[in-house]
Chains A and B, each alone.
Chain A
Amino acid sequence: MRRARTWLPGLLLVAPSIVAIGVFVYGMLGWNFRLAMTDKHDEVSEGKFVGLDNFAGIWDLPRWHLSVNHAIMFTVVFVLGALVLGWFLAFLMEKGIRGEGTFRAIYLFPMAISFVATGIVWRWLMNSGMGERAVGLNRLFDAIGLPQWQWFRDPDWGMAAMALPAIWQMSGYVMALFLAGFRGVPEELREAARVDGCGEWGVYRHVVLPLLRPVTLSALIILGHISLKVFDLIVAVSGKQIITDVPAVFMWVAVFDSHDPAKGATIASYIVLSVAIFVIPYLVWSVRKERRS
């Protein structure tokens, strides 16, 4: 145990950040939860404590069901799509290929663009006009004999289309993660497996894939938490339309259009919970792992 004189200055230097994180992250999360447990459904009332009523009551709203279903479909398509595409691109480049730097730069550049700018181009690309009025992908598909689609206006599969721009934007990132993972596999391990009689697929399945698990997990966490709070992209592509409603947009509407703080806070709490449920175990796990090594 070192004496306080040695560590106290450090603590003092970090103190402003500790206070800031304490107030702005944990304090405000708590404040938000408390607000969600009141009946402050307009901006002037005091707000009485009502327990978990809002959390239960929101399930009576058809719009809430719709937005949750949308978020689930978006998350599944986006996370799987970006993961598979990113992995595939990394897999193709893993052993080195001419022009690798250029490929990487092109796959990654969408990361540097805002979701709003992305949304504007993709709204054009995914325009649902058909026949003579078709622009964007429908016009292109028509020209090459593919069917035309409703895209994000499709009542059943709209959110799957909405995931396309997000995949476009994030799969390069997943590729970079996987490429670093592939390159981290020691050549000796692969060689040893080959000596033991493994074919290239055997080496891949028994040596490389298990070593890629931590990278896959990181990618899942990052994509998952982006997905559950998706907001900018939806607003830029379709605004506040019910047909593409997600919890984050619903919350925005609850706060600014319905002027219902308690409802907004309830939705926000659900978004936080949905992320916390898998991020907290992940953080605890990775900090422990780091300490062990």
Chain B
Amino acid sequence: MTAVAARGRVSTGARLVILVAFVVVFLIPVYVLLVTSFKPLTEADPGQAWNLPGTWTTEAWRVAWEKLAPGLWNSVLLAVPGSLLSCALGSMNGYVLSKWRFPGADVLFTLFLFGMFIPYQGVMIPLVQLLVGLNELTGLQGVFYGGIPGLVLAHVVYGIPICTLIFRNYYVTIPDELIEASRVDGAGMLRTYWSVVLPVSAPAIAVVVIWQFTSLWNDFLFAVFLTGPQSWPATVMLNNIAGAQATPYSQQMAAAILSSIPTMLIYVLLGRFFMRGLMAGALKG
């Protein structure tokens, strides 16, 4: 064995050791979540904080589920329609901005992109006022402000930039000749979209739906400002459950896991698309 090969092997070994050490550190919170959530109240004293449960019980899970279930349901009502609507809008915008461009499309795209980075605090007070106004205008109390439809509206609108970006960057890779050919055949914009572009859109649709579903599911800021107790999504309910002094750690942890199951499932099953969404967030085509 040559010296170089030996050194290469040693450094590979060292790299593995460091990487595994970081895996352990990264998984500490997961250990805490799981172990604590299965502990009975009798094992809640600090001395046993890091121990495995002496007796495993799902009692905390049952209580957490009872408390969190309405929030989880609200989150479903929020995240499913919200991500589908965002996807539809993003797809149309991306198509036009890549294949059916109009004068000024680049400037417009840059203006859209800024919407991706604005801190939502900067629009929150006017947004609340607008939604309150919509409630009064339509006579529908608790629908726009204080309700899930208003929250969906906010997420769909502020999701336009990122969804447009992902679709645009994906559609740029469709050869222009395909669009031209369709045009020559006499197909208009919508027909070309329907018969040429949409059938090859599946990967981008997956990326956008997953990205939006995850952001909507995990959002806290909009929910805190725009919803009331009836329409609180899981994140707000989770924060309230955990913030109450009387809630034992076991229930807090069980509730935290429960609220994370949908997005974790998506991550495990569809990690590949999840990654692509992340990369798109970095403005990389």
Q: Is the CB of A225 within 8 A of B102?
A: no
Whether B189 sits at the interface, judged by CB under 8 Å, is yes
A111 → B minimal CB distance (Å): 7
Q: Is the CB of A10 within 8 A of B102?
A: yes
User: In the complex, which residues of chain A have a beta carbon less than 8 angstroms from the beta carbon of B123?
Assistant: 24-25, 28-29, 32
- Flag if B126 contacts A271 (CB, 8 Å): no
Give the distance in Å from the alpha carbon of A116 to the alpha carbon of B112 in the complex.
28
Q: Which of B132-154 contact A (CB under 8 A)?
A: 154
A48 at the binding interface (Cβ < 8 Å): no
Q: Is B231 an interface residue (CB 8 A)?
A: no
**A120–B218 touching, CB < 8 Å:** no
- In chain A, residues 10-49, which have Cβ atoms closer than 8 Å to a Cβ of chain B? 10-11, 13-14, 16-18, 20-21, 24-29, 31-32, 35
Q: Is A58 an interface residue (CB 8 A)?
A: no
Q: Are B221 and A231 in contact (CB under 8 A)?
A: yes
Q: Cβ of A10 and Cβ of B36 under 8 Å apart?
A: no
Question: For residue B102, which residues in chain A have a CB less than 8 angstroms away from its CB?
Answer: 7-8, 10-11, 14
Among the stretches A148-156, A201-209, A283-291, the one at the interface with B is A283-291
Give 5 CB contacts A-B under 8 Å. Answer: A31-B126, A110-B26, A116-B238, A218-B283, A229-B121
Chain B interface residues (CB < 8 Å from chain A) = 12, 15-16, 18-19, 22-23, 26-29, 32-33, 36, 46-47, 49-50, 89, 92-93, 95-97, 100-103, 106, 108-115, 117-127, 130, 154, 157-158, 160-161, 164, 188-190, 214, 217-221, 224-225, 235, 238-239, 242-243, 249, 252-253, 255-257, 259-260, 263-264, 266-267, 271, 274-275, 278-279, 281-285
Q: Which residues of A contact B (CB under 8 A)?
A: 7-11, 13-14, 16-18, 20-21, 24-29, 31-32, 35, 89, 92-93, 97-98, 103, 105-125, 129, 132-136, 139-140, 143, 168, 172-173, 176-177, 180, 215, 218-219, 221-222, 225, 228-229, 231-232, 235-236, 239, 247-248, 251-252, 255, 261, 264-265, 267-269, 271-272, 275-276, 279-280, 283-284, 286-287, 290-291
User: A-B pairs with the 8 shortest C-beta distances?
Assistant: A114-B218, A10-B100, A229-B119, A272-B122, A7-B102, A112-B267, A28-B123, A232-B220
